[in-house]
C-alpha cells in the first residue's frame, strides 16, 4: 500500500509540476505513461495520456492514439482469470484494428505485427487452457487466421529487406527487422494452428523454421526458432529430438546474465521439463529442474517464483513429483505458486484441488482450503466456492487462522451469496463478521511494501454491519417476512451505535434515498412516479457531507427532478387528444429548470471544494458524478429547448469523460440528432467519429449499443435521402438534350459518396442492433448492392467487392429469418447475385440452381417458347464457370451429388422433349449417344471409334429386325418400337451413371464436379449467346459488334472451351472472330481474347 502511495504521489507531483512544459521533460512523457500501465497503474496512465493529448507536442499526441490500446493489452496480460483475460484481449485487438487505417508505411507494418502478436497470444491462452482441462480446442481458428494474414502481409511487403537487423541505416534496419519478426510470427501461427488440429501446419512450421534459422544464425531469433522447433517435435512425439533443440538453447545461455538470455533459458528448461514429463522420464525432469533452480539462484540471482516461466517451470516439476508418486512435494509447489495473483497462480489453484484428491489430508488445513476456494471463485464457480469457503471456516481454529482465513471466508461467502441473489444468506455471513465475538478480530491481509510482502490488520465490522443491514433489507423486500425486517433494523442500529463515525453509517441516509428512487422508477402511474421522484430528491438532500456518497447524492437530487419532469411530460402526452398537439406543461418545464439549477449548483460546489491530489478514491467518485451531471444538465437544457446550452454540456462530456461509454453513446446520439435536425451533417458525423476514435468502430459496452445504433441509423437515413436526391438529379441531367459531361461526372461522384456513406452507417446500425426486422435488413443490404454497383461502375472494384460481401451476409440472414414464401424467391435472387459478385460460387449454386430450375418448369407449363430467362442463364453460366476453376470445395461430396442431380434432370428433360410416336428413327438413338458422350466427359474418358461402330451396328441390326415386322405384329408381340428402345436405354444409362439424390460420391468427385460444371456452363452460355444480339440496337444489324454483354458472354464461352482442353479449337474460333470483327469489342476484350489464345 505504501509503495503504491509513493508512486501515486510522485506521479501526481510530476503531472502538476510539468503540466505546462511537457509532463516530465518533453521527451519521455509517452514512455512514462507506458511504464505506469506496465506497473498496473492504469488510471494514472490514462491521466498522463489525457494530459499529453491536451498539452503535448504534435508527435506526442500522435503517439497517444495507441496508448489506450497498450493499456488494455497490459491489463489483459496481467489478468489472472482466463475468462476476463480473453475479454480483455478481444478489447485490445479491436482497439488496434481501429487504428490500422490511421497510419501507413513502416508504422502500419509495425502496428500489424503488434496486433498479430496479440492475436497469437490470445489464441495461445485459449489453447493452453483447453489442453490443461483436456477439452477440445475451439474458438481459435478465426483469431489465428487473422494473425496469419497480417504476418503474411508484412512478410510479403518486406521479404526482400535482407537480414541485417543491426544496420546503421535506420530504414534498412527497420525493414530488415520487420521481415525478421513477421517470419517468426508466421511460424508461431503455423504451430498453434497445428495444435488446434489443422492438418499439415506443424510440417509447414518445421520447414519455415529451418530456413529461418539458416537466415538468422547467431541472432537471438534463431534461439526462439530452436525452441519452437523443439515444440513441434514434441507434438510429433519425437521427444529425444525435441530435447536436443531445447538443450541447444539452454546450455549456451544459462550462464549469460542478460534479461533476454534469462528468459530464453527459463523457456528452454520449462519446455524440456514438459517433454520429459510427457516422455514419462520423471526422475530426469526432477533432476534437471532442481539443478537449474540452484544454478539460477546462485549464479544469476534469479528466483523462479518471481519469473513467469519460472512459475510454469515449478508447476512442471510438481507434475514430475506427481508422476513419481511424491504427492506432498507436488502439493508444496502448488501451494507456493497458488498464493501468487498471476496466471500460473490461477493454474496452481486448480492443480492444488486436482492433486489434493490424490492425498486427501493435503487440503485439510485453512491455508490450502482457502487457496482452493479462491480459485473456484475466480473461475465463477460460485456454488462450489461457497462449499469450499465453509471448509475454510471448519479448518480455521486458531486465532491466527481465523484472522487470516476465517474472517475472509465469511466475507467472501457474503459477497458470493449477494451475487447469486440470496440476500438472506449473504446477510447472515456478514452478520457473522460484524457481531460474532469469535470473528471480532481484525482481518489480516497481505500487502506489498517496498517489494516485500507484509501483513496488515484491518477491521471489517462496520462494512459487514452495513452489508448485513442491506442484505436483510433486500431479503425482506422479496419475502415481506417481518423477521427479516427486524434483523435489518437490528443491523442498522448496531452500525449506528457501534460505528457512528464510519462512512458506512453515514451512507445509510443515501441508501434510504436510493430505495425511494427505485420505488419511483418501478411505479407505473406517471403522476405517482413523479411525486415519488420528488420525495427521493428531498431524501438525497439529507445525506451527510461526510458520507462517501455525498457528491453522488447532490447529482441524484437533480436526476430525480429530471425524472419527475419526464414523468409529468409523459402523462401530458398520453392525455393529449390530438397526435402532435402536445405542448410541455408548466409543471414539467419548472422541474426541468429545477434540475438545471441543481446540476449547476453541484458544479459550483466542486469548484469551491477542491480535492487533494492524493485523494484518488474521492477524485474517481467526483469524476463519475461530474460526468453524470454534465449528461443530465445537457438533456435538461434540450428538453426546455435551450439547444445550444444543452449541446455545450454534452460536448464537454464527450471531450472530458470519454471513459463513460454509456453516457458518451447517449450524448453522441443526442448531438447527432440535434445537428442533423439543424442541417449540420458534418458536425454530426464529427461526434460519431470521436466516439469511434475512443472505442473503435465496434467498441464500448452493451449498454451503449442502443444509442450508438440510433446515431448510426440517423446518419445512414440522412445520407440515404441525400443519395435519392442525387439519383434524381443525375437522371434529370441525363434526360437533357445535350447533357453536360462534367455535371454528370460530379453528380455520379455525389451518388457514390452518399450511397457509400449511407451503406457504412446503416451497416454499423445493424452491427449494434442485430435484432433488426427482416425488412430493415433487406433495406440495408439492398442499399449496399446499389452502392456496390455504383462503385463497380466507377472502377472501384475492391470496394465494390467488399460491399457485395457485406450485403451477402445480410441477405443470408434475411433468408434464415424469412417465413414469407412470396418473399423467398426475391431474397434468393439477391443472395445469388451477391454471391456471384463476390466469387462465392458454392454458396451461389446452392441458392440459384433451384430458382433457375423452378422458373424454367413454370415457363414450360405456361407454354413459353423460351423456357430459360436470359438473366438467369447469365447468372448460372457465370456460377458454373467459376466453380469449374476452383481448386477445392468445402463439401465435395455434397456439391457433386447436387450437380449430378441437376445434370441428370437436364439430360432427361432434353429426352422428354421428343415424343416416341412422332420422332424419327434416329432421334432417340442420337440422344442415347449424346448421353453416353456426356457421361464419358464427366468420368474424364471418351467413347472410342470402335465403340461408336458397335453402337451403330447394333442400331442397324435392331432397325433391320423391326423393319421385317408390321406395326400390328410388333404390338401383338409386345415388342417396343426403335424409338422407345433407345429412349429407355438413354434414360437407363443416365440413371445408372448419373443417379439423382445419390447418398455417396465416387473418389474422383472433385474432377467430376469440374467436368459437370464445364459441360453445363458451356451449354447455358451457348443458349444465352443465341439469345443475345451482338448489337446494342437490335434494329441496326451491321458494322462492329457493340454489345458489351455479347462480348462478355462470347469470351466466357471460349474460356470454358479452353478449360475443357480444346485450346486449338479456341485459337481457331478467335482467329475467325478477329477476321470478322477487327476491333474485337474494344481494348479490354482485345487483351482478354489475346491472353486466352496464348493459354
How do residues 942-1000 score in pLDDT, each as one tens digit?
A: 888 898 899 889 888 888 877 777 767 666 666 777 888 889 989 999 999 999 988 87
| Nine cell digits for residue 265 | 533459458
Mean pLDDT of the chain: 82
Question: What DSSP element (H or E) covers 443?
Answer: strand 443-449
Mean per-residue pLDDT for 107-132? Answer: 85
Give pLDDT, residue 232.
Answer: 92
pLDDT at 556 over 90: yes
pLDDT at 265 over 80: yes
Give pLDDT, residue 98.
Answer: 72
pLDDT at 930 over 70: yes
- What contacts 24+ positions apart, CB below 8 Å, involve 617-623? 620/43, 621/548, 621/551, 621/552, 622/551, 623/657
Give pLDDT, residue 9.
Answer: 31
| Nine cell digits for residue 292 | 537449474
CA dist 683 → 327, 351, 660, 687, 710 (Å): 68, 57, 21, 7, 16
3-state secondary structure of 447: strand
* Predicted confidence band of residue 403 (pLDDT cuts 50, 70, 90): confident
Within 10 angstroms of residue 402's Cβ, the number of other Cβ atoms is 22
- pTM (2 decimals)? 0.52
| Nine cell digits for residue 832 | 445469388
pLDDT at 236 over 80: yes
Lowest mean pLDDT among 352-361, 462-471, 798-807, 1020-1029: 352-361
The partner residues of 458 in beta bridges, in order of sequence, read 443
| Nine cell digits for residue 928 | 442415347
860 vs 428 pLDDT, higher one = 428
Mean per-residue pLDDT for 12-32? Answer: 40
Give pLDDT, residue 6.
Answer: 28
39 vs 1045 pLDDT, higher one = 1045
| Nine cell digits for residue 692 | 469511434
* Predicted confidence band of residue 373 (pLDDT cuts 50, 70, 90): confident
How does pLDDT run across 474-515, given as a tens digit for each residue? 899 888 899 998 998 898 888 878 887 787 887 788 888 888
161-170, 523-532, 580-589, 972-981 — which one is most confidently predicted on average? Answer: 523-532
Give pLDDT, residue 518.
Answer: 87
Residue the block writes with cell 428538453: 639
Give the span between the Cα atoms of 841 and 64, in whole angstroms: 45
What is the DSSP code (8-state) at residue 406?
I
pLDDT at 581 over 50: no
Mean per-residue pLDDT for 842-846? Answer: 88
The partner residues of 455 in beta bridges, in order of sequence, read 446
- φ and ψ of 455, to 5 deg: -100, 135
Give pLDDT, residue 791.
Answer: 92
* Predicted confidence band of residue 328 (pLDDT cuts 50, 70, 90): confident
Mean per-residue pLDDT for 269-293? Answer: 92
Lowest mean pLDDT among 62-71, 743-752, 1080-1089: 62-71
* Predicted confidence band of residue 358 (pLDDT cuts 50, 70, 90): low
Give pLDDT, residue 71.
Answer: 66
- Contacts (Cβ under 8 Å, ≥6 apart) of 759: 716, 780, 783, 784, 787, 803, 806
User: β-strand 452-458 against 443-449: which pairing, if any?
Assistant: antiparallel
Give the span between the Cα atoms of 963 and 970, in whole angstroms: 10
Burial pattern 548-581, b for ≥16 Cβ within 10 A else e, equals bbbbbbbbbbbbbbbbbbbbbbebbeeeeeeeee
Give the span between the Cα atoms of 783 and 777, in whole angstroms: 10
Give pLDDT, residue 189.
Answer: 93
Mean per-residue pLDDT for 382-410? Answer: 86
Lowest mean pLDDT among 196-200, 282-286, 606-610, 862-866: 862-866
| Nine cell digits for residue 369 | 482450503
pLDDT at 162 over 50: yes
3-state secondary structure of 585: coil
pLDDT at 215 over 80: yes
Q: What share of the chain is helix, strand, coil (3-state, %, to 5)?
A: 75, 0, 20
Q: What are the structural domain ranges in the chain?
A: 398-403+419-506, 1029-1093
CA dist 745 → 626, 734, 750, 756, 795 (Å): 51, 11, 9, 16, 13
Mean per-residue pLDDT for 402-409? Answer: 85
Task: Report how far Cα 955 is from the mean position of its chain's Cα atoms.
Answer: 66
Q: Provide the H-helix boundaries in 420-498.
A: 423-435, 461-479, 482-498
Percentage of residues of the chain with pLDDT beyond 90 = 23
Give the span between the Cα atoms of 427 and 494, in whole angstroms: 14
> Following CA atoms 153, 157, 160, 165 in sequence, which dihedral angle do they give, to the nearest 10 degrees?
-80
Give pLDDT, residue 291.
Answer: 92
Give pLDDT, residue 23.
Answer: 38
Give pLDDT, residue 342.
Answer: 79
- Contacts (Cβ under 8 Å, ≥6 apart) of 377: 385, 412, 416
pLDDT at 53 over 60: no
pLDDT at 857 over 70: yes
* Predicted confidence band of residue 57 (pLDDT cuts 50, 70, 90): low
8 burial (CB, 10 Å; 0-12 / 13-18 / 19+) is middle
- Using only C-alpha atoms, the chain has a radius of gyration, in whole angstroms, of 38
Burial pattern 971-1008, b for ≥16 Cβ within 10 A else e, equals eeeeeebbbebbbebbbebbeebbeeeeeebeeebbeb
| Nine cell digits for residue 64 | 497517444
Amino acid at each position: 500500500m505504501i509503495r503504491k502511495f509513493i508512486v501515486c504521489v510522485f506521479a501526481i507531483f510530476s503531472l502538476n509540476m510539468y503540466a505546462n512544459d511537457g509532463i516530465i521533460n518533453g521527451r519521455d512523457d509517452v514512455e512514462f505513461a507506458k511504464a505506469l500501465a506496465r506497473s498496473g497503474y492504469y488510471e494514472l496512465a490514462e491521466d498522463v495520456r489525457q494530459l499529453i493529448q491536451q498539452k503535448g507536442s504534435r508527435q506526442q499526441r500522435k503517439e497517444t492514439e495507441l496508448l489506450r490500446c497498450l493499456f488494455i493489452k497490459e491489463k489483459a496480460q496481467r489478468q489472472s482469470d482466463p475468462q476476463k483475460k480473453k475479454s480483455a484481449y478481444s478489447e485490445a485487438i479491436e482497439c488496434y484494428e481501429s487504428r490500422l487505417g490511421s497510419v501507413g508505411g513502416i508504422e502500419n507494418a509495425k502496428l500489424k505485427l503488434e496486433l498479430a502478436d496479440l492475436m497469437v497470444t490470445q489464441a495461445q491462452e485459449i489453447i493452453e487452457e483447453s489442453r490443461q482441462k483436456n477439452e477440445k480446442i475451439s474458438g481459435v481458428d478465426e483469431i489465428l487466421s487473422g494473425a496469419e494474414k497480417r504476418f503474411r502481409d508484412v512478410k510479403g511487403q518486406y521479404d526482400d529487406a535482407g537480414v541485417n537487423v543491426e544496420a546503421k541505416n535506420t530504414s534498412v534496419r527497420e525493414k530488415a527487422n520487420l521481415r525478421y519478426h513477421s517470419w517468426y510470427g508466421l511460424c508461431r501461427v503455423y504451430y498453434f494452428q497445428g495444435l488446434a488440429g489443422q492438418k499439415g501446419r506443424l510440417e509447414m512450421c518445421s520447414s519455415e523454421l529451418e530456413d529461418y534459422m539458416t537466415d538468422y544464425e547467431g541472432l537471438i531469433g534463431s534461439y526462439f526458432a530452436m525452441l519452437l522447433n523443439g515444440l513441434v517435435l514434441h507434438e510429433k512425439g519425437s521427444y529425444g529430438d525435441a530435447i536436443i533443440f531445447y538443450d541447444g538453447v539452454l546450455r549456451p545461455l544459462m550462464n549469460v546474465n542478460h534479461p533476454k538470455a534469462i528468459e530464453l533459458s527459463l523457456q528452454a528448461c520449462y519446455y524440456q521439463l514438459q517433454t520429459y514429463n510427457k516422455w514419462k522420464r520423471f526422475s530426469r525432469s526432477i533432476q534437471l529442474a532442481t539443478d537449474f533452480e540452484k544454478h539460477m539462484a546462485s549464479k544469476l540471482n534469479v528466483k523462479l517464483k518471481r519469473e513467469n516461466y519460472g512459475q510454469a517451470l515449478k508447476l512442471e516439476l510438481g507434475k514430475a513429483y506427481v508422476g513419481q508418486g511424491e504427492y506432498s512435494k507436488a502439493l508444496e509447489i502448488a501451494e507456493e505458486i497458488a498464493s501468487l495473483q498471476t496466471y500460473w497462480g490461477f493454474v496452481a489453484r486448480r492443480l492444488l484441488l486436482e492433486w489434493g484428491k490424490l492425498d486427501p489430508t493435503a487440503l485439510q488445513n485453512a491455508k490450502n482450503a482457502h487457496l482452493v476456494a479462491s480459485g473456484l471463485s475466480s473461475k465463477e464457480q460460485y456454488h462450489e466456492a461457497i462449499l469450499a469457503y465453509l471448509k475454510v471456516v471448519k479448518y480455521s481454529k486458531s486465532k491466527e487462522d481465523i484472522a487470516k482465513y476465517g474472517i475472509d471466508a465469511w466475507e467472501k461467502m457474503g459477497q458470493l451469496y449477494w451475487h447469486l441473489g440470496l440476500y438472506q444468506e449473504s446477510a447472515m455471513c456478514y452478520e457473522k463478521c460484524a457481531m460474532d465475538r469469535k470473528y471480532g478480530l481484525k482481518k489480516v491481509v497481505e500487502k506489498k511494501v517496498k517489494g516485500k510482502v507484509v501483513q496488515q490488520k484491518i477491521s471489517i465490522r462496520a462494512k459487514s454491519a452495513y452489508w448485513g443491514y442491506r442484505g436483510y433489507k433486500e431479503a425482506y423486500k422479496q419475502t415481506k417476512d417481518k423477521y427479516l425486517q427486524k434483523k435489518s433494523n437490528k443491523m442498522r442500529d448496531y452500525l449506528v451505535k457501534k460505528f457512528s463515525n464510519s462512512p458506512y453509517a453515514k451512507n445509510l441516509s443515501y441508501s434510504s434515498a436510493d430505495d425511494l428512487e427505485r420505488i419511483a422508477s418501478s411505479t407505473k402511474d406517471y403522476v405517482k412516479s413523479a411525486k415519488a421522484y420528488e420525495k427521493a430528491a428531498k431524501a438525497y438532500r439529507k445525506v451527510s457531507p461526510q458520507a462517501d456518497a455525498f457528491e453522488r447524492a447532490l447529482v441524484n437530487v437533480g436526476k430525480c427532478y429530471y425524472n419527475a419532469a419526464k414523468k409529468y411530460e409523459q402523462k401530458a402526452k398520453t392525455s393529449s387528444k390530438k397526435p402532435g398537439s402536445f405542448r410541455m406543461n408548466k409543471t414539467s418545464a419548472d422541474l426541468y429548470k429545477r434540475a438545471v439549477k441543481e446540476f449547476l449548483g453541484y458544479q459550483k460546489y466542486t469548484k469551491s471544494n477542491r480535492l487533494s491530489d492524493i485523494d484518488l478514491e474521492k477524485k474517481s467518485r467526483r469524476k463519475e458524478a461530474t460526468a453524470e451531471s454534465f449528461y443530465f444538465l445537457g438533456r435538461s437544457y434540450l428538453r426546455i429547448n435551450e439547444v445550444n446550452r444543452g449541446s455545450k454540456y454534452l460536448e464537454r462530456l464527450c471531450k472530458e469523460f470519454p471513459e463513460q461509454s454509456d453516457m458518451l453513446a447517449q450524448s453522441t446520439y443526442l448531438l447527432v440528432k440535434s445537428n442533423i435536425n439543424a442541417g449540420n451533417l458534418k458536425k454530426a458525423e464529427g461526434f460519431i467519429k470521436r466516439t469511434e476514435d475512443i472505442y473503435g468502430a465496434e467498441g464500448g459496452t452493451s449498454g451503449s449499443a442502443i444509442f450508438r445504433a440510433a446515431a448510426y441509423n440517423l446518419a445512414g437515413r440522412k445520407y440515404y435521402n441525400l443519395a435519392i436526391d442525387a439519383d434524381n438529379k443525375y437522371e434529370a441531367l441525363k434526360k437533357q438534350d445535350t447533357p453536360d459531361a462534367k455535371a454528370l461526372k460530379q453528380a455520379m461522384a455525389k451518388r457514390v459518396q452518399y450511397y457509400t456513406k449511407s451503406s457504412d452507417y446503416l451497416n454499423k446500425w445493424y452491427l449494434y442492433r442485430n435484432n433488426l426486422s427482416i425488412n430493415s435488413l433487406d433495406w440495408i443490404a439492398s442499399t449496399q448492392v446499389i452502392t456496390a454497383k455504383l462503385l463497380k461502375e466507377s472502377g472501384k472494384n475492391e470496394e465494390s467487392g467488399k460491399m457485395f460481401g457485406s450485403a451477402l451476409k445480410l441477405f443470408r440472414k434475411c433468408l434464415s429469418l424469412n417465413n414469407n414464401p412470396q418473399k423467398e424467391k426475391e431474397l434468393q435472387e439477391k443472395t445469388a447475385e451477391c454471391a456471384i459478385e463476390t466469387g462465392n460460387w458454392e454458396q451461389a449454386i446452392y441458392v440459384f440452381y433451384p430458382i433457375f430450375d423452378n422458373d424454367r418448369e413454370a415457363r414450360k407449363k405456361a407454354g413459353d417458347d423460351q423456357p430459360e430467362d436470359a438473366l438467369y442463364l447469365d447468372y448460372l453460366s457465370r456460377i458454373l464457370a467459376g466453380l469449374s476453376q476452383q481448386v477445392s470445395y468445402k463439401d465435395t461430396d455434397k456439391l457433386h451429388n447436387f450437380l449430378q442431380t441437376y445434370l441428370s434432370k437436364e439430360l432427361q428433360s432434353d429426352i422428354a422433349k421428343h415424343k416416341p410416336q412422332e420422332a424419327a428413327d434416329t432421334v432417340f438413338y442420337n440422344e442415347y449417344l449424346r448421353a453416353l458422350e456426356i457421361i464419358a466427359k464427366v468420368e474424364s474418358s471418351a467413347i472410342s471409334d470402335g465403340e461408336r461402330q458397335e453402337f451403330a451396328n447394333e442400331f442397324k441390326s435392331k432397325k433391320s429386325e423391326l423393319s421385317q415386322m408390321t406395326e400390328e405384329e410388333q404390338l401383338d408381340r409386345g415388342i417396343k418400337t426403335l424409338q422407345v428402345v433407345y429412349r429407355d436405354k438413354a434414360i437407363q444409362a443416365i440413371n445408372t451413371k448419373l443417379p439423382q439424390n445419390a447418398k455417396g460420391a465416387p473418389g474422383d468427385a472433385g474432377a467430376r464436379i469440374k467436368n459437370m460444371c464445364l459441360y453445363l456452363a458451356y451449354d447455358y452460355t451457348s443458349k444465352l449467346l443465341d439469345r443475345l444480339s451482338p448489337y446494342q440496337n437490335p434494329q441496326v444489324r451491321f458494322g462492329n459488334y457493340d454489345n458489351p454483354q455479347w462480348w462478355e458472354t462470347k469470351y466466357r464461352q471460349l474460356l470454358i472451351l479452353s478449360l475443357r482442353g480444346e485450346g486449338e479449337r479456341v485459337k481457331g474460333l478467335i482467329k475467325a472472330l478477329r477476321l470478322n470483327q477487327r476491333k474485337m469489342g474494344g481494348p479490354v476484350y482485345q487483351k482478354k481474347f489475346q491472353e486466352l489464345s496464348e493459354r
